[in-house]
A and B are shown apart, each in its own frame.
Chain A
Amino acid sequence: MFSKLSYRTQRRIIIVSFLIIPLALLGTFSFLPVANMFWYSFTDWNGFSEKEFLGLENYKTVFTDPEYFRVFTVSLYYFVGTFVQMGLALYFATILSFKVRFKNFFKGVIFFPYLLNGVAIGFMFLLFFQPDGGLDTVFKLLGMGDMTTHWLGNPDVINISLAGTSIWRYMGFNFIIFLGAISSIPGDIYEAAEIDGANRWHQFRYIILPSIKIIVSLNLILAISGALSAFEIPYIMTGGSNGSATFVIQTVDTAFKYGKIGLASAMAVILLIIVIIVTAVQRKFFSEEE
């Protein structure tokens, strides 16, 4: 329909018309919120009032009031969980990249939880952790009935249960990414190594690990920002009660339950800065590797 126009005019029309809506969306929903968030974080805004400038007051509250700062310790559980998750994913990806019977079945089942709806997973594990629920039954079958506890009632255990649920949910994703990375290693390298007398451990240590090092570290750092912004699983399962509130749950509650938009913005800005630092470190690491 534009073919009568010169290519120069067409070019100008197409650049403007193809970019205007995407750029408007990008500005309105990605950059404007960040800019506003910085601005709100210096005020006492509650969503309706006039915004009064407070300076760094909100930031001081977050860092000094233990009620707000304590939640960072909850992130540590998810942080540790990340390493368990990566270890399991790497283990299963490695053994499934060698000859295994029913390979596709194992691959499918180990990966499947990642596809499930977060609310469905949350409810599933609420049931699983109930007294006399699935987990208790398994413990009793194994003769470890004394070790059961209120998995979501005991404040010492609740975050481990929730981080465990999170591992269950996300491990399959790392697994499938690692499996893809390992499968791109040419097969004859293993054969050559075998002739040289390398066993499976050697093959993992000296062939597989070096070739997928970048993707492992990338996933690890992505998972760390994920651990810091853990939200869905604990929010759906406990609503943050019993000492299970994560930083994002605290932020969402501060904003939408208590109407302290200014304070919540300061919290969100802090999280954003941490995540950006983590990502920047990753990018640097990543580009140096190459």
Chain B
Amino acid sequence: MRAKSLAGITIKYVSLILGVVAAILPILIVFFAAFKTGTEYTTTGPLTPPEDWTNFENFKRAFTEGNMLTGFKNTVIILLVSIFGTTIIGSMVAFVLNRFKFKGSKLILGAFLLATLIPGVTTQVATFQIVNFLGLFNTIWAAVILYLGTDIIAIYIFLQFMNSISVSLDESAMLDGASYFTIYRKIILPLLTPAIVTVIIVKGINVYNDFYTPYLYMPKTELHVISTALFKFKGPYGSEWEVICAGIMLAIIPTFIAFTSLQKYIYNGLTSGSVK
């Protein structure tokens, strides 16, 4: 019995350590390479740490020549606008559909839920024509409006959460003469805070990491986001992997900081944000 549980414990920890190595190794190699000089990169093995940990030359080049600064700026703008917009739109729809039963309300709810079934990447062929027709191609609004218009998951999260907000709160506010708008603004919206945190996290991950929307709709250099700015490294720096690695690290660092500081919220957000 004793030997058996010892073997069990060994298997458990060995497999966990293997999992950790598999998760970290590709990142670690990039991390090492980002600090190496050009010759050092070609002469040393990938698992050899860099000689000089203070060699920030590659980062400097990735940041300035590689257009990463523009990428960060655009990503932040798009993130802020689309998170704000999604929160407003999602909470408005959830408020109306949850609190009022009217002719067609079931139909509207069904339409929003049906849209979650459409995988975004398949319809780009036709979406492109619409974005182009509206004159949004190669403007920052292309990404913003697509993130607002095709992301139904936020509505879903808010709708689920609205069920737990008691209608009696609305009713007592109405006795005090509050308008429906005041109820939404002063009672519902503040109570939705946990759901808003979930939406911010799910949306934030999706927008920061999205590649095909900016790639298809905003090819202009000034409109590059993190993903597309980094993608551009492939051609000109094809032989200078140490610069590409610095670019990769620059894209990862914000994610790492967000993860270590918001860990608990991210786990909860994803667990409750996934379709249950």
Contacts and interface: CB of A to CB of B under 8 A. Distances in A.
A78 to B, nearest CB: 14
A16 to B, nearest CB: 9
Interface string A82-118: 0000001001100110001000001011111101111
A61 to B, nearest CB: 15
- Counting chain B CB atoms within 10 Å of each CB, the highest count among A7, A125, A236 belongs to A236
B146 A177 contact: no
Interface stretch (B51-59, B189-197, B240-248): B240-248
A231 B212 contact: yes
Contact of A124 (B30, B93, B234): B30
A193 interface: no
A36 B112 contact: no
B150 A116 contact: no
B108 A19 contact: yes
Given A119-B211, A252-B124, A265-B125, A26 B263 contact: no
Interface in A194-239: 200, 215, 218, 222, 225, 229, 231-232, 236
Given A3-B182, A112-B259, A29 B130 contact: yes
Interface in B226-262: 226-228, 230-231, 233-234, 241, 244-245, 247-248, 251-252, 255-256, 258-259
A1 B125 contact: no
B125 A268 contact: yes
B148 interface: yes
A113 B271 contact: no
B96 A34 contact: no
A117 B208 contact: yes
Contact of B115 (A26, A222, A225): A26
A14 B124 contact: no
Given A33-B126, A37-B123, A229-B121, A18 B231 contact: no
A145 interface: no
- Counting chain B CB atoms within 10 Å of each CB, the highest count among A14, A30, A133 belongs to A30
A180 B267 contact: yes
A173 B26 contact: no
B125 A19 contact: no
B26 A95 contact: no
Given A32-B130, A37-B123, A108 B259 contact: yes
Contacts of B8: 200
Given A40-B125, A117-B230, A120-B230, A3 B255 contact: no
B25 interface: yes
A23 B23 contact: no
Given A123-B230, A133-B46, A109 B179 contact: no
Interface string A144-186: 0000000000000000000000001000110011001000000
A36 B270 CA distance: 33
A251 interface: yes
Contacts of A192: none
B123 A268 contact: yes
A5 B177 CA distance: 11
Contacts of A180: 267, 271
Given A25-B89, A265-B126, A120 B252 contact: yes
A128 interface: yes
Given A115-B255, A120-B251, A232 B26 contact: no
- Counting chain B CB atoms within 10 Å of each CB, the highest count among A33, A91, A172 belongs to A33
A134 B26 contact: yes
Nearest to B91: A18
Interface in B170-191: 174, 177-182, 184
Contact of A1 (B115, B126, B148, B181): B181
Contact of A236 (B124, B211, B256, B276): B211
25 contacts: A3-B177, A10-B180, A18-B95, A19-B93, A21-B89, A22-B93, A34-B123, A36-B126, A37-B126, A40-B125, A112-B259, A117-B226, A119-B231, A123-B244, A124-B29, A124-B248, A128-B29, A134-B26, A134-B29, A176-B271, A232-B211, A248-B122, A271-B122, A272-B122, A276-B117
